Amino acid sequence: MTEDPVRLEVSDGVATLRIDRPKVNALDFDLQDRIGAAAREASARDDIAAVVITGGPKVFAAGADIKEMAALDHADMLRRSKHLVDSFAAVATIGKPTVAAINGYALGGGCELALCADIRIAAEDATLGQPEVKLGVIPGLGGTQRLARLIGPSRAKELIFSGRFVSAEEALAIGLVNQVVPPSDVLDTATAWARQFVGGAALALRAAKEAIDLGSEVDLATGLEIERQQFAALFGTEDRAIGMRSFIEHGPGKAEFRGR
């Protein structure tokens, strides 16, 4: 295993959260803790506008470390599971646009990690799935919840009940991934998507993400109230004043935001 299996690399406003635990990026407890810590750092840093999550050119993450989990009993997992869920929640709640760049396998916990991103870009030969039922368990890091919200309960049940693998083509058709590209283009495509937000209205992007994510968990009336409050709050920001003044004076798309 490499000395630092989770790295947060920042270049020109885009952070790459890179997982590097050969051979298949098995997500043991230490790795999940490191992912959560990197996500919290990415969310807090002002020099990061967007985040790319990748496991490298061969495999995104082929699931949890089964040997590690096999040694646990009910009491052990009760103690540990909340911390694991919190690590993935840290990824899902990064207050900036996030994209998973998926090469190879994204299975079990790997698929759940990809689900934490705002969008997913997959290689043509990528394989996704939630095969936990074949181990006598269920997805435990958000798979039953995030997958159902993304592709609908019926499709999520079919995938989770069967534990079958999904090709990139099918994943695109059912809305599990947003784009499919040649394997060699995955990271560059994801980075290009993330780069569009550098210099953007960071506070508005965060508000939009929070409104969508929080609103998806409540009834429409409550969701509209969440949106109203987020919308009104942005009128107290410098970026709102800059954006509207720039639009009036120079037309759309020319504002230089400050993140304040």
pLDDT at position 114: 97
Are 183 and 128 members of one domain?
Answer: yes
pLDDT at position 184: 97
Are 48 and 158 members of one domain?
Answer: yes
What integer is the mean pLDDT of 68-97?
A: 90
Q: In the chain, how many domains are there?
A: 2
Judge whether 1 lies within some domain. no
Judge whether 94 lies within some domain. yes
Are 38 and 136 members of one domain?
Answer: yes
pLDDT at position 52: 98
pLDDT at position 118: 98
Q: Which two tokens stand for residue 220?
A: 């429409």
pLDDT at position 2: 47
| Residue 238, domain CATH | 1.10.12.10
pTM: 0.93
pLDDT at position 107: 97
Per-residue pLDDT for 108 more than 80?
Answer: yes
Judge whether 258 lies within some domain. no
pLDDT at position 65: 82
Catalytic: which of 112, 124, 210, 256? 112
Catalytic: which of 9, 68, 124, 132? 132
pLDDT at position 71: 86
Per-residue pLDDT for 1 more than 50?
Answer: no
11-53 residue pLDDT tens: 999 999 999 999 999 999 999 999 999 999 999 999 999 999 9
The whole domain housing 223 covers 202-250
- Active-site residue flag, 112: yes
pLDDT at position 254: 85
Are 113 and 217 members of one domain?
Answer: no
Last residue within a domain, chosen from 195, 215, 236: 195
What integer is the mean pLDDT of 173-202?
A: 97
Q: What percent of the chain has pLDDT over 90?
A: 85
Are 25 and 106 members of one domain?
Answer: yes
Judge whether 259 lies within some domain. no
Are 188 and 225 members of one domain?
Answer: no
Are 124 and 223 members of one domain?
Answer: no
- Active-site residue flag, 132: yes
Judge whether 255 lies within some domain. no
pLDDT at position 81: 83
Judge whether 160 lies within some domain. yes
Are 131 and 98 members of one domain?
Answer: yes
| Residue 18, domain CATH | 3.90.226.10
pLDDT at position 72: 84
State the pLDDT confidence band at 211, using cuts at 50, 70 and 90. very high
Q: Which two tokens stand for residue 141?
A: 């890091």
225-239 residue pLDDT tens: 999 999 999 999 999
129-164 residue pLDDT tens: 999 999 999 999 999 999 999 999 999 999 999 999
Task: Quote the mean pLDDT of the chain.
Answer: 94
Are 93 and 220 members of one domain?
Answer: no
Are 29 and 110 members of one domain?
Answer: yes
Last residue within a domain, chosen from 177, 195, 213: 195
Are 79 and 185 members of one domain?
Answer: yes
Are 142 and 238 members of one domain?
Answer: no
Is the link from the previous residue into 23 a cis peptide, with omega within 30 of 0? yes
